[in-house]
Amino acid sequence: MADHPAARGLRDDTALLDGWVITHDTIVEGVHYLPNDPPGTVGWKLAAVNASDLAAKGAAPEAVLLSLTLQGDGAWERAFLDGLEEALPEFGLSLIGGDTTALPAGAPRVLGMTAMGRAGDVTPSRSDGEVGDALWLVGCVGNAAAGLKQPRADPAAKGHLVDTYRMPWPLLAMGRKLAPAAHAMMDVSDGLLLDAARMGASSGCGVVIDLDALPLSEAFVTECGDDLAARMFAATGGDDYALLVSLPADSDPLGLSLPVGPRVTRVGTLVEGAGISLQFKGQQVPAPETLGYEHRGT
């Protein structure tokens, strides 16, 4: 049933239909966000994670449809919509439709969004990486995973890491600049190692990641350190909404007049073979059993 050319074989995070990049992301209470997270930040996050998929395809955001579940007296949902209303124009998105459904009492909220963006001249897939490509990361990893730990321990926790977990910023301008130069591009949502392994597998390449090179924020290092365990945590934690880009070896992204702001770091290479291998201080280190966040039933 997925033989439509727009499906790209369902190997990508987005579909491409008549010049539209289309994506759908759903977030679940207790799975993708904490029940105590301020509802406005959940609205922001739903818009941001969808916009991040558009960013990774170099698309210009246009419109969203919202699937909103209703629970209780609706106060949570009103605050959620306030956060969504704040986020959408920041990302160039307008709400054009959707659905509202009642939930049985006590059921976790399930919030879905379909986002549409206008494709640029090039819409990089995740599967067109080539052996020899350099893997570049735009943005940091680990902040959101570290930020999620804090409110789990203390619901009143605040600060840069918590903010990054709750209210990510999709790298839209970066994505548009990088798309024409990229062989493959995707956003890092489930963990750098898992998403890089997916890019490698769908491109028919092996992946080497240099853990020393991982861009870590000062706040992350203060909280978690920067030893091998901390770097492994950052590389597998997920929710980063960084961009992972494979560029030809001779292409220097610093020559692309990229927007100022997010760090641009070479973190690895696509190689002959299959699977993922990790380097740390010049040595190969074993890959962890869990490369990131896998969507499994419970």
Which CB, 67 or 279, lies closer to its own copies? 67
Helical H segments across the chain, by residue range: 39-55, 75-90, 143-153, 160-166, 172-178, 192-203, 218-224, 228-236
> What is the distance between the alpha carbons of residues 286 and 61, in angstroms, rounded to a whole number?
39
Which CB, 118 or 263, lies closer to its own copies? 118
Binding mask 116-135 for its own copies (x = CB under 8 A): x-------------------
**Cβ(46)–Cβ(149) below 8 Å:** no
Decide: is 74 part of the binding site for its own copies (CB under 8 A). yes
* Residues 237-296 interacting with its own copies (rule: CB under 8 A): 295-296
**Cβ(270)–Cβ(214) below 8 Å:** no
Q: Which of 51, 54, 88, 141 binds its own copies (CB under 8 A)?
A: 88
**Cβ(23)–Cβ(13) below 8 Å:** yes
Decide: is 10 part of the binding site for its own copies (CB under 8 A). yes
Decide: is 152 part of the binding site for its own copies (CB under 8 A). no
**Cβ(69)–Cβ(188) below 8 Å:** no
Decide: is 24 part of the binding site for its own copies (CB under 8 A). yes
Q: In terms of C-beta density within 10 A (0-12 exposed, 13-18 middle, 19 or more buried), how is residue 82 classed?
A: middle
Distance of CA 246 to the CA centre of its chain: 16
How many residues are present in the chain?
298
Decide: is 186 part of the binding site for its own copies (CB under 8 A). no
* Stretch near its own copies under the rule CB under 8 A, chosen from 95-103, 122-130, 178-186, 234-242: 95-103
Residues that bind its own copies (CB under 8 A): 1-4, 6-7, 10, 12-15, 17-18, 20, 22-28, 30-32, 62-63, 65-67, 69-74, 77, 84-85, 88-89, 94-105, 107-108, 110, 112, 114, 116, 295-298
